[in-house]
Chains A and B, each alone.
Chain A
Amino acid sequence: MSTNEIAPETWGILAEFTDADALIAATRSARLAGYTRMDGYSPYPVGEVADELGFPRSEIGAIMFIGGLVGATIGFLMMSWVSVVDYPLIIAGKSMWSWPMFIPITWELLVLTASVSGVIGLLALCGFPQPYHPLFNVPNFARATRDRFFLAIEAVDPNFDLAGTRAFLAGLNPASVEEVPA
């Protein structure tokens, strides 16, 4: 295929590697070559790839911390308001605001809201559910969940150049290099 035919419809270029260390090395080379809009794909997590991509820390921790704090606070205030203001009952001679008795439910709500916000946070940040992605157009990409490791440099990268990027990736000793149609 000539460059002119597919250039406007190219999402990126995908290089295939046979092991995780090759992917780490390739990602590092691509970063040093000035590429910024790229991603690595692997059947199991390879933390060094994310490091090389310049994503040293995810947002999940902050999301779960805030989610848990909000849930626990709302739960504790809800129980306090119910027990003191809206529906005061004397139980076993305890004071209305017998806050130690509210701790078990506060804790459970902390865990629940932190977990729910973490899962929703993961899905939202990753854009899931996402039924279609250009990478799924490449039949060989099915091996990204099996036994192969991929590096994709996206066409939106300022340094992206169809022939040049392709040659660059081919120079990293990959198992294959393919164009990804959008």
Chain B
Amino acid sequence: MAAATNTHVDASLIEHDVYTDDEFLIGGQHTLATIGDKIGSVCLGDTVTPKAWWATFLIGFSLLQAMVVGLVWLFYMGTGVWGINSPVFWGVAIVNFVWWIGIGHAGTLISAILLLMHQKWRTSLNRFAESMTLFAVMCAGIFPLIHMGRPWLAYWLFPFPNNMAVWPQFRSPLTWDAFAVSTYFSVSLMFWYVGLIPDFAALRDVAKTKIQQMVYGGLAMGWRGSAIHWRRYEKLYLLLAGLGTPLVFSVHTIVSFDFAVSIVPLWHATIFPPFFVAGAIYAGFAMVIWLAIPLRHFYGMSDLITKKHLDVCGKIMLGTGLLVSYGYFCEVWFAFYSQSIYEWDTTLQRLFGPYWWSYWLLILTNTIIPQVIWFKRFRHSEFWLFMVAGSVHIGMWFERYVIITTLSRDHLPSSWGRYSPTMWDYMIMFGSMGLFLTLFALFLRFLPMISITEMRELLPRAAGGRDGHAVMENAK
């Protein structure tokens, strides 16, 4: 079935594999029924749960307990248990917040932006990438809340008439952030759920046990694939994608405003919004690679997430990595060219001051190491792609670490200080990774990790599909 006539893909990708379609996006010889069975059988428990799933779940769940312990101590003692003190009041908690929310953005990018751009390869990745977004935003959202000192008053962030007769400060980027992140989470959740409705119906109709039928049937809400319903559904899906695209840019722009609207040297920069958005997509694609490669191996999904997908993800990671590196260059150049002594001296502190190692580690992991993706040998090797993505995770974490340690030496030398995170910082940080792993493991086990409906549509016409998602054409 492999049609080796497609000139857009280089021959090394196809090797000896058999593909259902001409674009090397679906391996094997799938039909409408087999593709649903393959994805659905994991949810229905017909596929043996891989040992690696248990390892992931147990590691994640253990780390989650560390987070619980960390949070109990934090709530009992207050934010003093963290390493934050004058002049660095924004510590690792904010680093983690930005790191997680950045990771989340690739899910929306894959789902929404690539949909608008008619990229068929998004179809295998969008579901688990959207789940990644949701869970990453949950992890991100925890940090600003627990950073408040009095997290039980978190609802004060939102405007509501109250007997203190006060309102939030609508000119503050921190208030914008509360709206941006909560909107982002809500819209991502709706987009994810709407996408899942037809898949829930598909699971309901093949489920064997009463509980599965009731749960998936309840979640499907009576979906029966009516043409009238599909028309509304596709319009909604397209419009949510259309709104999600500017939303994802606005959210990370607002996150960058938390820094850029201040007057701290090197924070008060117009480069921040685009630089943050590029970094978010960079980190997110690294996480997509980290999730896709294990799915290929442990769940045998290499026929649905093919080498072509990894190749494209690697290229996007490289492209956004170059944008981010350009941002690093611009930061230094702006500081030099502005002739502001504060900007330039803070830059020198960043490059050669007490935290010099974190800056150069950032350059190494985010700018230098990812350059190996230029070479096909590395891009087509799952091992190296995984390693490079790991390097990007470290690099993107240090990017935000470098930003917050800027606070240690700014305008006033008399108030210079040092910052180092404590054990409690790290416990909650690694604990948030445990939360992510736990939620993602549960998602893999109980929800379709790849969109059944969209994969069916992606099948070539000869196999019963419509040769790719036609949402743009059908949405009216």
Point out residues on A near B: beta carbons under 8 Å.
19-20, 27, 39-47, 49-50, 53, 55-61, 64, 68, 78-79, 82-83, 86-87, 89, 91-92, 94, 98, 101-102, 104-105, 107-109, 111-112, 114-116, 118-119, 121-123, 125-133, 135-136, 141-147
**Is A64's CB under 8 angstroms from B33's CB?**
no
Of A39, A119, A122, A123, the residue contacting B227 (CB under 8 A) is: A39
Of A58, A92, A127, the residue contacting B476 (CB under 8 A) is: A58
The answer to whether B254 has its CB under 8 Å from any CB of chain A is yes
Known: A46-B227, A104-B176, A128-B222. A147 touches B239 (CB 8 A): no
Known: A58-B476, A128-B222. A92 touches B183 (CB 8 A): no
Within 8 A of A (CB), among B169-187: 169-173, 175-176, 179-180, 183, 186-187
Which of B193, B230, B456 neighbours the largest number of chain A CB atoms within 10 Å of its CB?
B230
Of A39, A55, A109, the residue contacting B179 (CB under 8 A) is: A109
**Is A43's CB under 8 angstroms from B235's CB?**
no
Of B183, B232, B465, the residue contacting A58 (CB under 8 A) is: B232
Of B166, B227, B234, the residue contacting A40 (CB under 8 A) is: B227
**Is A55's CB under 8 angstroms from B180's CB?**
no
Residues of A within 8 A of B235 (CB): 58, 60-61
CA distance A94 to B171 in the complex (A): 9
**Is A53's CB under 8 angstroms from B227's CB?**
yes
**Is A146's CB under 8 angstroms from B206's CB?**
yes
The answer to whether B353 has its CB under 8 Å from any CB of chain A is no
Which of A87, A111, A125 neighbours the largest number of chain B CB atoms within 10 Å of its CB?
A111
Known: A58-B231, A82-B170. A104 touches B250 (CB 8 A): yes
CA distance A72 to B201 in the complex (A): 34
CA distance A163 to B244 in the complex (A): 50
Beyond contacts A91-B169, A136-B224: 15 other A-B pairs, Cβ-Cβ < 8 A, are A41-B224, A45-B457, A47-B234, A68-B243, A89-B169, A115-B187, A116-B186, A122-B233, A125-B232, A126-B226, A129-B218, A131-B222, A141-B224, A144-B224, A147-B33
Which of B167, B225, B457 neighbours the largest number of chain A CB atoms within 10 Å of its CB?
B225
Residues of A within 8 A of B167 (CB): 82, 86-87
Question: What's the nearest-Cβ distance from chain A to residue B225, in Å?
Answer: 5
Question: What's the nearest-Cβ distance from chain B to residue A84, in Å?
Answer: 11
**Is B456's CB under 8 angstroms from A47's CB?**
no
**Is A145's CB under 8 angstroms from B186's CB?**
no
Of B175, B193, B222, B474, the residue contacting A130 (CB under 8 A) is: B222
Q: List 19 A-B contacts (CB under 8 A).
A: A44-B457, A45-B470, A47-B474, A53-B228, A58-B235, A60-B232, A64-B243, A89-B169, A101-B171, A111-B243, A112-B186, A115-B191, A119-B190, A119-B193, A122-B232, A126-B232, A127-B222, A130-B222, A145-B225
The answer to whether B36 has its CB under 8 Å from any CB of chain A is yes
Known: A118-B236, A126-B229. A105 touches B179 (CB 8 A): yes
Q: Which residue of B lies closest to A94 (CB)?
A: B171
Chain A at the B interface: mostly helix, strand, loop or mixed?
A: helix
**Is A19's CB under 8 angstroms from B234's CB?**
no
**Is A147's CB under 8 angstroms from B224's CB?**
no
**Is A108's CB under 8 angstroms from B183's CB?**
yes
Question: Which 6 pairs across A and B sit closest by C-beta, in order of nearness?
Answer: A47-B474, A130-B222, A147-B32, A142-B205, A45-B230, A129-B221
**Is B464's CB under 8 angstroms from A144's CB?**
no
Of A86, A126, A146, the residue contacting B205 (CB under 8 A) is: A146
CA distance A130 to B217 in the complex (A): 10
CA distance A131 to B453 in the complex (A): 21
CA distance A104 to B191 in the complex (A): 21
**Is A42's CB under 8 angstroms from B205's CB?**
no
**Is B234's CB under 8 angstroms from A146's CB?**
no
The answer to whether B445 has its CB under 8 Å from any CB of chain A is no
Of B171, B224, B470, B476, the residue contacting A133 (CB under 8 A) is: B224
Residues of A within 8 A of B172 (CB): 91
**Is A118's CB under 8 angstroms from B170's CB?**
no
